Amino acid sequence: MVNDPSQADDAVRTDRRRENTRIQQLQRRRRLAFGVIGVLLLVVVGILFAGYVIIFVRPPQERVVSVNDVTYTRGDMVKMLRIRQRLLEDSGQRVDTSSDIFQALQLIVENEIISQSAPSIGITVSDEEVDQQIQATIIFQAGGSLIGKSEEQLDREFRELYSNFLNTSQIGEAEHRDIVRRSLLREKVRQYVGENLPTVVKQYHVYRLAVNHDDEIDILQTKYNDYVKASDDPLLLHEAFKAITREFSRDEPERVRLGGEIGWLPLGVLEDYDDVIANLEVGKLSDPIPNKDQRQQGFIFMVSQIDELRELSPTNADALKTRALERWINEQRREHDVYAVFNSDIYAWIIQQLGISTAITPSPQPASPFQQLIGGS
C-alpha cells in the first residue's frame, strides 16, 4: 500500500512542532534555572557585601562622641590608642585595657571642648609648635642615635623614623598632627588656668594603708594605739604607722616599703579623700574609706603634721593645675552639646583592632614628651 504524501508531510510537520515545543520548553527551563541561580548569586553576594559592611565598614564609622557638630568615631578612638600603644611598646609596656580605653574616650571629649573653647581665651597652637613637638618625640624615641649628625642627616633620619612611627601606628600624618595639636592645646590651657594658683598653702603630712573589708581592723588599731599612746611626735607617729603598714597593708609594694607615707599634700591632690584628710586629728587613724578604684578595698589615713603655710612642691603644684583644668573643662562643658556612648561591643571591637592578646613584661622607662601629653605616665 502506498502512503499518501500529504499525510506524511503532516506527520513530519507535527513531529517538528513537537520537537520545537520541547526545545522551547527546555530553553525556558534553562532560562528559569539561570534566573534562579542569578538571583541566588545576587542574594549571596548581597549577604557577603552586607556582612563586609557590618563587620569592616560600619564599626569604624560608628559615632562614639560628638561635641556640638564635631563627631568622633570608633576609628578615631583606635587611632589615638594605637599611638599610645606604640609609645608604650617602645618602652616595654602595654596598653592597660582596664583604664586606657576609657581614658581615651574621656580625652576625646575633653580635648574637643578645649579645642572649641580655647580661642575665646586667646590660646592657639601653631604649625611650628606641632613640628617641634613631633621632632622632640621622635628624637626621644631614637635615644642617642641622632646626636652629632649633620642637619641634612638629622632631617633625613628624622623623616625615616617618623614615617616608620606612622606606619607602625597605622595612622596618617595629618591625623597624627591633629592629635599632637590638641595635646599641646590642652597643656597650654592647663598652664593658663593654673597660673594664678597660690604657691604657699595649708598642707598635711599624709600616710595611708590599704585593707580588705574582712581584715582584722580592730587588731590593727589596737597595735597602733599601743605604740603611739597619747603622743603627737611626728617621728613616733611615722614609726608606728610604718609598723602596722608592713604588717597589715595590702597597698602597692612601693607604698608599703615607704611605710605608707605619701608626704606633704594640699587639699585637692587626693580630691576624693579631701574631707577625710581635712577632718583627721593629728596622729589618729581614719575609719576604712572605700577605695574608689577597688571597691573591695579600703584606705586608712593618718596625718602626722599640719603646716598652715607651706610652699608647694613642683609635683603638687602640677597636680593642682590638672585639677584646675578639670574644673575649667566641666564649666565649659555646660556650654556645649556633648554626646558620648560606650558599651561592651565597642570595647570588644577596640580590643580586637588593637590586637591585644599577649602580655608584655613591663620595664620601667622614662616617659616620652608625647606620652606625657596624651595621658601617659
* DSSP conformation class of 7: H
Using the predicted structure, report yes or no on whether residue 12 has a pLDDT greater than 80. Answer: no
3 state SS for 268-316: CCCHHHHHHHHHCCCCCECCCEECCCCCCEEEEEEEEEEEEEEECCHHH
Q: How many residues does the chain have?
A: 377
Looking at the structure of the chain, the number of domains it has is: 3
Mark 109-124 as b/e (b = at least 16 C-beta within 10 Å): bbbbbbbbbbeeeeee
- Give strand pairing partners of 306: 204
User: How does the average pLDDT of the chain come out, rounded?
Assistant: 83
Q: 33 lies in a domain? A: yes
CATH number of domain containing 261: 3.10.50.40
In contact, 136 and 371? CB cutoff 8 Å: no
Q: What is the pLDDT of residue 8?
A: 60
Q: Which of 24-33, 167-176, 229-238 has the lowest mean pLDDT?
A: 24-33
Looking at the structure, do residues 209 and 257 belong to the same domain, yes or no?
Answer: yes
Using the predicted structure, report yes or no on whether residue 363 has a pLDDT greater than 60. Answer: no
Looking at the structure, do residues 344 and 324 belong to the same domain, yes or no?
Answer: yes
Using the predicted structure, report yes or no on whether residue 305 has a pLDDT greater than 60. Answer: yes
pTM of the predicted structure, to 2 decimals: 0.73
As a whole number of angstroms, the distance between CA 307 and CA 144 comes to 44
How many C-alpha atoms does 225 have within 13 Å on its Cβ side? 9
Looking at the structure, do residues 188 and 332 belong to the same domain, yes or no?
Answer: yes
Nearest to 204 by CA among 253, 273, 259, 292: 273
**Structural domain harbouring 29:** 18-61
pLDDT tens-digit series, residues 270-300: 999 999 999 999 999 999 999 988 878 999 9
